[in-house]
Amino acid sequence: MKGIYSALLVSFDKEGNINEKGLRQIIRHNIDKNKVDGLYVGGSTGENFMLSTEEKKEIFRIAKDEAKDAVKLIAQVGSINVKESVELAKYATELGYDSLSAVTPFYYKFDFEEIKDYYNTIINSVDNTMIIYSIPFLTGVNMSLDQFAELFENEKIIGVKFTAADFYLLERMRKRFPDKLIYAGFDEMMLPATVLGVDGAIGSTFNVNGKRAREIFELAKEGRIAEALEVQHVTNDLITDILANGLYGTLKLLLEEEGVKAGYCRKPMKEATPEMVKQAKVIYNKYF
């Protein structure tokens, strides 16, 4: 389960319906061109928290059908409706997903006992494994080293997607949990995360920048830090330009430049303005 995973983008039409053909093209692009090791389906990048249960299932089904066994597949099933999470966990497990993942429950200030119950409820309902999705800047949920340790006591909880800039905590986790899978979640901090020993990375920008991401990861693992830093510099110039133009919308526009029908974002995310479209072309010509 180690390696580079794209946090899968989902293609929507102008009305916000899933565009199956476009979604399949995004998956193919990731497997054939980006050469990723896996796909993380139903995460933030998949605009998942704006979708219905049926739509989430449809995306899991299409992704498995298109990818088959070519790459590893992780299904993000987290939701603050635990019944929905359990239903999605069962569905993805039946489809043959290699692992599940769940975002820490958000919005309400759940205490740690509640968070622990959430993870155990979801993963103990299926014969599968769980990767914690920790993204404090969006959820507001900050867990301590000891709290991660408590969650990891359940052997079915095999890892964490660590989308945070807390490198002290990351180092402490690497030392304390040598057998758990740790994935870097911020693409712009992949080099330092790799130096600290992550097993892989899961990122939105890999949908377009997968090759550079792999270079950074592999160079850093070989200890070729100066070379890895050169690639991280280019990558971060690109990510800075993407973030300034609107993250998911711009990633989709960049894919469109590659001939991939990545489509629109789902409301309330806004439709790209003519200026954003123009700027995406500038970005594409600069970096690809």
Place of tokens 């600069």: 286
Member of 42, 43, 46, 246 binding ligand MN9 (CB under 6 A):
43
Q: Which of 133, 126, 134 is nearest to 156 (CA)?
A: 126
Q: Which residues, in sequence order, are bridge partners of residue 182?
A: 160
45 counts as binding ligand MN9 under rule CB under 6 A: yes
Q: Which of 129, 85, 75 is nearest to 105 (CA)?
A: 85
Backbone angles phi, psi at 168, to 5 degrees: -65, -50
200 counts as binding ligand MN9 under rule CB under 6 A: no
- Of 13-21, 24-32, 203-211, 221-229, the segment contacting ligand MN9 by CB under 6 A is 203-211
Other CB atoms within 10 Å distance of the CB of residue 244: 11
Provide the CB-side half-sphere exposure for 10 (13 A, CA).
Answer: 31
Examine the residue annotation and report whether 270 is marked as an active-site residue of this protein.
no
In whole angstroms, how close is the CB of 124 to ligand MN9 at the nearest point?
A: 26
Q: Which residues, in sequence order, are bridge partners of residue 159?
A: 131, 181
204 counts as binding ligand MN9 under rule CB under 6 A: yes
Maximal CA-CA distance, the chain: 51
- Of 186-194, 211-219, 229-237, 271-279, the segment contacting ligand MN9 by CB under 6 A is 186-194
Cβ nearer to ligand MN9, comparing 34 with 86: 34
Binders of ligand MN9 in range 148-177 (CB under 6 A): 163
44 counts as binding ligand MN9 under rule CB under 6 A: yes
Examine the residue annotation and report whether 161 is marked as an active-site residue of this protein.
yes
203 counts as binding ligand MN9 under rule CB under 6 A: yes
- Of 39-47, 89-97, 110-118, 269-277, the segment contacting ligand MN9 by CB under 6 A is 39-47
47 counts as binding ligand MN9 under rule CB under 6 A: no
207 counts as binding ligand MN9 under rule CB under 6 A: no
Find the catalytic residue in 161, 248, 252, 264. Answer: 161
- b/e map of 41-55 (b: 16 or more CB within 10 Å)? bbbbbbbbbebeeeb
Q: For residue 105, is the peptide bond before it cis, meaning its omega torsion is within 30 degrees of 0?
A: no
Provide the CB-side half-sphere exposure for 113 (13 A, CA).
Answer: 0
128 counts as binding ligand MN9 under rule CB under 6 A: no
119 counts as binding ligand MN9 under rule CB under 6 A: no
The set of catalytic residues is 133, 161
